[in-house]
Amino acid sequence: MLPVDPHLPGSRKNRSGFLAAAACLCIGLIAGCNSMFYYPDRLNHYPPEQFKIGYRDYFFRDAQGDTLHGRLHFHAPGQEYKGLFVVFHGNAQNLTSHYLGFAWVLKQGYDEFIFDYPGYGLSEGKATRPGTVSAGKAALSLVSDSLLPGKPGRLIIVGSSLGGAVMMRVFPDWSGKPRTDLVIAESTLPAYRAAARSAMAKQWITWPLVPFTYLLISDSYSPEPYIPKISPTPMLVTACAQDPVVSPKLTRKVFDDAKEPKWFWFSDSCGHTQTFKSPANRARLLALIDSLHSHREDPHVQ
């Protein structure tokens, strides 16, 4: 959910901040406050200029009337353009920290588009569950209208942690679905109530309340009914054994609910949203995307 690349500064600090947010989440659940899933801020954490990354800002409006902020990071100079990663980020900080999680694709010829939900970064409004869904729909519309026309290449949609829940909720109805080569659900959850129950069970102060999650937490806007509808777009689900935030069992449930074609990558030695910290998994992902793209463009494939 937060940047974890050991080659970028601030990784340990961000992980500590995330764990603190997770603890706050458990406390918030006692009060039955669904909004406590969100921990936005408006800080400019890691300006792209710091890493000599070119970018363009986009401001667009969602159905709720909020003006939202998105940012397109350009592939590295000298690299042939290969395609676009669209990233739905997790529940803390804002896009100026989360973009680093997939910034490695810029050196592989890919652009990366990431956006903020209401209340995050430069986006107006307040973070709510319907607000994240509205923002996700608006962001995908922007991708269709402004980023894809005239740009042939691979298209990958990523949902990390809580962003995966938003992505899986809105992707099945998106007009750009037929063009998408791969959907990636990274360390994510099928339903909010199940995630709350799992988080509460880990804390002594909240575990007695686990039986009452039905009253405390709403499952509205959960992606579970929509996960099977992602098919026939290929779907990659990733989980880490040492994830302290989203139980790998929950992420496995996402995979089980999905229809073919699908893959489940489970890593033993990583934590929350750290699957692609591994150079081997990065190479493996790029190879999978190339294979899927070639297969999709083959005129002999029906």
- What stretches in the chain show pLDDT beneath 70? 1-36, 194-218, 297-302
The neighbouring-strand residues paired with 59 are 69
The DSSP call for residue 101 is G
SS3 percent helix, strand, coil of the chain, rounded to 5, is: 45, 20, 35
Cβ contact 169:221 at 8 Å: yes
Strands 39-40 and 83-88: unpaired
- Tens digits of per-residue pLDDT, 223-269? 999 999 999 999 999 999 999 889 999 999 999 999 999 999 999 98
pTM of the predicted model as reported, rounded to 2 decimal places: 0.86
Annotated domain spans of the chain: 41-190+226-297
Of the candidates 187, 186, 262, 190, the one whose C-alpha atom is nearest the C-alpha of residue 230 is: 262
Cα(22)–Cα(90) distance, rounded to whole angstroms?
A: 12
Cα(123)–Cα(116) distance, rounded to whole angstroms?
A: 6
pLDDT reported for residue 209: 56
Structure tokens at 159: 């949902």
- Tens digits of per-residue pLDDT, 148-178? 988 889 999 999 999 999 999 999 999 999 9
> Yes or no: is domain 41-190+226-297 CATH 3.40.50.1820?
yes
pLDDT reported for residue 162: 95
